[in-house]
Copies of this chain bind each other. A is one copy, B any other.
Amino acid sequence: MNLKQLSELLGLSQTTVSRALNGYPEVNEATRERVLQAVKETGYRPNKAAQRLATGKAGSIGLVMPTAPGHQSDVHFGEFLAGLGEEAVRHDFHFVIMPADPDDEVAALRRLAISGNVDAVFVAYMRGHDPRLAMLKSLSMPYVVHGRSFGSEPDYPYLDIDNEGAFYDATRLLLQLGHTRFALMNGPMHLDFAIRRRNGVISALAERGLTLEEGCMSHALMTDEQGLLAMEHFLQLPERPTAILCSSTVLALGAIRAVNQAGLRLGEDISLIAHDDVLPLLKPENFSVPLTTTRSSLRAAGVRIAQRLIGTVKHAGPFPDQELWKTELIVRASTGPAPRP
C-alpha cells in the first residue's frame, strides 16, 4: 500500500492525503478523519526512504561505534546507548550505528554524516585536540559532543561532567584524611577526561605542596585487568601509596583484587575513590568493601544528549550549547584515615 493507492481508494489526490497525514491546516477536518480512518484500516505506512528523499530528513541520529576484532566492547558504551535509546523511543527516532575501526573514526564519522542517513550525529570518547571537531563544524549538521576536547576552543556544543572538579574534590577528601602518598589509575592518556582528571588531582595536591610522581600514575584501557596490573605495580613501589584515585569502577574491580591478593585491607591500609558511571552491573555499594565514589550517571547523559539532538532537529526550542554537570562525591567504606606509619 502506498500513497497513490491510498489516495485512489479515497478518491482524493496524493497531495491532500499527504497533507492530512502530516497535520497541515488546509485540509478539511472531515477529510482528515476519513484519511486517518483509512490508514487504520489499510495499515498504510509511508515509505521512509521516499519521505527522506523528498524532505531530506531521516528521523534518526547517528553515531560511530568503535569496534574491531580485538577491540573490547565497552560497558560504558552500552550504558550510554541505553540512555540515548530511552529518549529516542519517545520521539520515534532511531539510531544508525556505524561500526568503525577505532583508527578510522574521523572518516567513518564523515561517511555517516554525509550518507544522508542521519539528521544529527553524536560523538564520544573525545580526545585532546580532537580532529573530529573541525570536521563536525564543517558539516552543517547538528551534533553534540559527549565530553570536551582539551586544547580546542570550547565553541562546540557539548555535554560534559566536571572531571577536574570531581577528582579535585576526591583528592581533597583524601588529603583531609591525612593521606600523603597518592596514585592515580586513569584512562588512556589521550582521552580528554583522563587529562582533566589528572589535572584535578595534581592541582589539589599542589595546594599542599605535594606532587604526583610519574610512577604513581597509570594510563590504560579501563578494564579490570589493567586495574589489577596497575595496582600491583603501585603496591611494589618503595613508598607505597595509601590513597588511590581511580577513573572507573571497572578499574577498581581489578585494583581491589590486587589489594586483596597482597593481603591488604581496603579502607584501612589503602583508601580508594573511584569514578562511578552508575553502571548497573557494578554498583559501588555492592563491592565487598563499599566504594567511595564520584558519581555521575552515564545513562542520564545519554538521555540528555538525545534530547538536545532530537530537539534541535525538530526545531523545538533552543538548547544550551554547553553543559557541565557536577558530580557527587559519595563517601563509603573504601576510604579511611591514612594508616599510621
Contacts and interface: CB of A to CB of B under 8 A. Distances in A.
Interface of A: 45, 47-50, 52-53, 58, 60, 65, 67-69, 71-75, 77-79, 81-82, 84-86, 88-89, 94-101, 111-112, 114-117, 223-225, 228, 250, 253-254, 257, 260, 280-283, 286, 288, 299
Contacts of A114: 45
Name, among A48, A68, A96, the residue most crowded by chain B CB atoms within 10 Å (CB to CB): A48
Top 9 A-B residue pairs of the complex, sorted by shortest distance between their CB atoms: A78-B78, A85-B99, A73-B82, A89-B99, A49-B52, A67-B85, A49-B53, A72-B280, A95-B97
B250 A96 contact: no
Copies of this chain assembled into the complex: 2
Given A88-B99, A97-B94, A286 B75 contact: no
Given A65-B81, A97-B97, 15 more contacts: A49-B52, A49-B58, A49-B116, A50-B53, A71-B86, A73-B78, A73-B79, A73-B82, A89-B98, A94-B96, A94-B112, A96-B97, A223-B281, A224-B286, A225-B286
Contacts of A116: 47-49
Given A224-B281, A280-B73, A86 B67 contact: yes
25 contacts: A49-B49, A49-B53, A49-B117, A65-B81, A65-B85, A67-B85, A68-B89, A71-B82, A72-B280, A74-B78, A75-B75, A75-B78, A88-B99, A89-B98, A89-B100, A94-B98, A94-B117, A96-B96, A223-B280, A224-B283, A225-B283, A228-B286, A250-B281, A257-B286, A281-B281
